[in-house]
Structure 1
Amino acid sequence: MVKEYQQPASLCKIPNHEKYHVSFTPGYLFRIFYYIFRMSLLYNFPFEANEIYHVYNKAVGKEKLFYGEDNYRFFLQKFSQYLSDSAHVYTYCLIPNHFHFLIRVAPTSSPNLISEKFRRFLISYSKSINKQQERSGSLFNKHLKRVKIDHMEQLIWIVYYIHRNPLHHGITKDFKTYKWSSFKALVSNKYTELKRQELYEWFDGKKHFLQFHEENQVLDLERFSHLFLE
């Protein structure tokens, strides 16, 4: 049985969801630039058990990771095959040339073990695409990038950023209907392996989770979305 998630003390809950709206105060900007600094220096540091990470990578050069729906399905199946017992997923989004996951490392997982599982997962998927496309060589950028989440404000904006990513890249006009992200599964009442209830708690419930995504659609995140990763 998966142990109940114990929220790290550093993730101090913000009970008022209205505080999640963008406010370019000195403190907010400091946290953004601190995030960039951490991203540039620490994305290759070892994973830590029971911590939350934004994990992402992209295809080399102008290559694609996904050429059709079967590729997206196969990628998610491979992720589950290699990592379901080591990484608990909150959100994800798959784009033709890159992917995002927001995960919690399992409490019993060692840094070397989960890194090795990610490596094997990406190699396995690369081999299948290389065979399908009759190509050779690396498919992904060399390093799997990861950033540990330090505070709640950062966390909820990364959830939103991941879900909004296909809109940001012009792939869809409504990210809420995009097929290859976690949003539809999270708002559905159907069973999901995503950590849905824990994620809702970050937003003070499903109602505020939906409200946050709805109200912030009009924000021009293109102005600062690159601060989060790309």
Structure 2
Amino acid sequence: MLHFETYYHIYNHANGDDNLFREAENYNFFLKKYHQHLDPVVETIAWCLMPNHFHLLVKIKSEEAVASTFLKFQTLEKFEQRSAFLSKQFSNFFSSYTQSFNKVYKRRGSLFIKNFKRKEVTDEAYLRSLILYIHLNPVKHGFVKEMNSWFWTSLKTFPDAYPDLAKQLFTNFEQYNISHQNKQIYFEEYTKLENDLI
């Protein structure tokens, strides 16, 4: 169950040995569909897309903000119904991307593992560690040697998009970069994050 005005780590993997993204246009289309379905209900704090999986750090918007966008949402009175509505937005997004992907590549069936994973972010330390974890994921999985080399990530855009949060978590832009570099240099520290963060 998703809660309003709460941070979540959301992630999922391609079904079996498939890839979610086979070419650059797939990443662009995924982001287009993502913004279409999910911008009305979440703020996307950090993200990283990789060939066979993705990681997102989102903050669910307030009930008032979501209600201002969806007339249907306004008619739902119970919290459980409203929470289910949020989850449905994610399901609609995954379904929309899958249908388009299947059509282009002449495939059938589910593309994502059923039931996307979600983990509530409970404190500031976890929030900070999660941002580092998401941005370093392409290095962890061997897609690149340097995190700056991976294009499909919020690594370079996060500080400008969320300056107050960046300052709160990392003090300043220099410290933000240093924190990421230190995790990459001391990679054992980074890999220890995995058990705690997912």
TM-score normalised according to structure 1 size: 0.73
What's 1:165 paired with?
137
Code of the residue aligned with 1:132 in structure 2: it is V
User: What is the RMSD computed on CA atoms of the aligned residues?
Assistant: 1.7
User: Displacement, 1:223?
Assistant: 4.2
Q: How does 1:1-230 map to 2 (within 5 A)?
A: 46-108=1-63, 109=66, 110-186=82-158, 194-221=161-188, 223-228=191-196
Distance 1:68 1:82, change over 3 A: same
Unmatched 5+ stretches in structure 1? 1-45
CA distance in 2, matches of 1:51, 1:141: 24
Which portions of structure 1, spanning 4 or more consecutive aligned residues, are displaced by more than 3 angstroms? 194-197
CA distance in 2, matches of 1:195, 1:171: 27
User: Displacement, 1:209?
Assistant: 1.3
Helix, strand or coil: the match of 2:157? Answer: helix
List per-residue Cα deviations over 1:88-124 (Å, max 9, x = no partner).
0110000101111000000124312221110000000
Distance 1:71 1:196, change over 3 A: farther
Q: Are 1:56 and 1:145, in contact at CA under 8 Å, matched by a contact in 2?
A: yes
Q: Are 2:129 and 2:193, in contact at CA under 8 Å, matched by a contact in 1?
A: no
Code of the residue aligned with 1:156 in structure 2: it is R
Q: Are 1:54 and 1:101, in contact at CA under 8 Å, matched by a contact in 2?
A: yes
Code of the residue aligned with 1:184 in structure 2: it is K
CA distance in 2, matches of 1:117, 1:80: 11
CA distance in 2, matches of 1:64, 1:180: 15
List per-residue Cα deviations over 1:187-224 (Å, max 9, x = no partner).
5x6xxxx4343233222232221221122221124642
User: Displacement, 1:156?
Assistant: 0.8
Code of the residue aligned with 2:167 in structure 1: it is Y
Query: How many matched pairs?
Result: 180
Quote the sequence identity (%): 31
* Structure 1 or 2: more helix by fraction: 2
TM-score normalised according to structure 2 size: 0.84
CA distance in 2, matches of 1:102, 1:58: 15
Q: Are 1:89 and 1:195, in contact at CA under 8 Å, matched by a contact in 2?
A: no
Distance 1:86 1:133, change over 3 A: same
